[in-house]
Amino acid sequence: MTPKPLQDSKQPTGAHLNDPHVPHHDQPNAHGHGNNHRHDNADHNHSHSHSHSHTDNQRIVTIAFAIIASYMIVEVIGGYITGSLALLSDAGHMFSDAVSLAMTLFAFIIGKKSATSNKTFGYRRFEILIALINGLTLLIISAGIIYEAVLRFQQPPQIATTGMLFISTIGLIVNLVVAKLMHGGDTDNLNMKSAYLHVLSDLLGSVAAIIAAIVIMLFGWVWADAAVSVLVALLIVRSGYAVVKNAAHILMEGAPNDIDQSVIIKTLSAHPNVLSVHDLHVWTITSGLHSLSCHIIVPSSLTLQQTDALLSDLQHELQHLGIGHSTLQFESDLHAHSAQFNCDITSAPPAHTHAH
């Protein structure tokens, strides 16, 4: 038997209208389409919630950017007037945070653009690209801190501890306010998390500077500045690596870490009209938006109305498992099919073309 046409959560199943294996009296009616409408509502609710989360994140990042940028300008002016290198250096750290927040904000704005004929999933993946850039920037900043610390171990500089303590304390207060603000957002969003880690790294830098200043003032251990800086850099490396790893995993179409494929296969197979499942693929479009496609073997005796109901039931179950968009292809048990759970697309034949 020829496999039934591909059925997508975004399309009605009227594609079966021309299926020669379905009796005329079993062709879909208004009731059959009603089953699919129930899934569309669930998908709409998921998108609505996703949109609200993005709006909140965008508002939070905008406020955080305004605070960081304003303080950066104050530090630049103060450093220029007083000739303080420490002020200008801290302004440089604030500048890196401001750039990170600006890119994050830009990604949220671009991510709202609608899908097009050549960007069928829209621009939501742009957020992951920015997260990757932010993660790599964290690693570069860490390398710079460690390099500078090594130089200071070799030739400890004269440090104005009073000015260092004052500047670090003000910087800590600003970063605490921004970090608290951003922590109220969706930190499960990789783009948001990468920007938050930038602010957190600056916050840790301020804490380290305060500790170092106090140690130097009490004991005269000038090397404490470099030692504490290395510890902070290692913490930043850990965070930056995690962001880069997660972003690369998503860009490589890796399966989401919070989705258990064995649970998916068990849930789908539990339906009495599902004989087996194969060619299962699960991936992430952007943070919090997972997609799935698979082939499902069903009895050849099923009518079109029964497959419509089955499609609606399965997609409803997938919604509960965190799958926001699913494409299920039904195949008859009389149809020759692969027994592979995950199909290896690298061994698939090239697309068939016709010569003109």
Q: Note the pLDDT tens digit of each residue in 84-98.
A: 556 667 777 888 889
75, pLDDT greater than 90: no
Amino acid letter for position 239: S
Token reading at 312: 């609606």
Per-residue pLDDT band for 298 (boundaries 50, 70, 90) equals very high
Whether the CB-CB separation of 318 and 261 falls below 8 Å is answered with: no
* Predicted pLDDT at 2: 43
* Predicted pLDDT at 44: 46
* Predicted pLDDT at 114: 87
Indicate the SS3 state at residue 316: helix
Q: Mean pLDDT throughout 128-147?
A: 92
* Predicted pLDDT at 251: 95
Per-residue pLDDT band for 127 (boundaries 50, 70, 90) equals very high
Mean pLDDT of the chain, nearest integer: 80
Low-confidence winner among 37-46, 269-278, 346-355 (lowest mean pLDDT): 37-46
DSSP 228-278: HHHHHHHHHHHHHHHHHHHHHHHHTTPPPTT--HHHHHHHHHTSTT--EEE
* Predicted pLDDT at 340: 58
Low-confidence winner among 2-6, 113-117, 173-177 (lowest mean pLDDT): 2-6
What are the residues whose beta carbons fall under 8 Å from the beta carbon of 46, sequence distance 6 or more?
319, 324
Q: Mean pLDDT throughout 14-33?
A: 37
Q: Mean pLDDT throughout 124-143?
A: 92
In order of their start, the domains of the chain are 7-44+256-345 (3.30.70.1350), 52-251 (1.20.1510.10)
33, pLDDT greater than 70: no
Whether the CB-CB separation of 127 and 187 falls below 8 Å is answered with: no
13, pLDDT greater than 80: no
Burial profile 167-195: b = 16 or more Cβ within 10 angstroms, e = fewer: bbebbbebbebbbebbeebbeebbbbbbb
Q: Mean pLDDT throughout 41-48?
A: 46
% helix / strand / coil in the chain, to the nearest 5?
Answer: 65, 10, 25
19, pLDDT greater than 50: no
Dihedral of CA 304/14/298/271: which sign?
Answer: negative
Rounded Cα–Cα distance for residues 153 and 141 (Å): 18
* Predicted pLDDT at 6: 42
50, pLDDT greater than 70: no
* Predicted pLDDT at 18: 36
Per-residue pLDDT band for 268 (boundaries 50, 70, 90) equals very high
Token reading at 149: 């610390």
The share of the chain scoring above pLDDT 90, in percent, equals: 40
Per-residue pLDDT band for 279 (boundaries 50, 70, 90) equals very high
| pTM to 2 decimal places | 0.74
353, pLDDT greater than 60: no
* Predicted pLDDT at 247: 95
Q: Note the pLDDT tens digit of each residue in 323-351.
A: 989 999 999 988 755 555 565 555 555 55
1, pLDDT greater than 50: no
**7-8 vs 323-332, strand pairing mode:** antiparallel
* Type and span of the H or E element at 26: none
Low-confidence winner among 82-96, 170-184, 185-199, 220-234 (lowest mean pLDDT): 82-96
* Predicted pLDDT at 10: 41
Per-residue pLDDT band for 25 (boundaries 50, 70, 90) equals very low
User: Alpha carbon of 55 to those of 10, 59, 123, 246, 334: distances in Å?
Assistant: 24, 6, 16, 23, 49
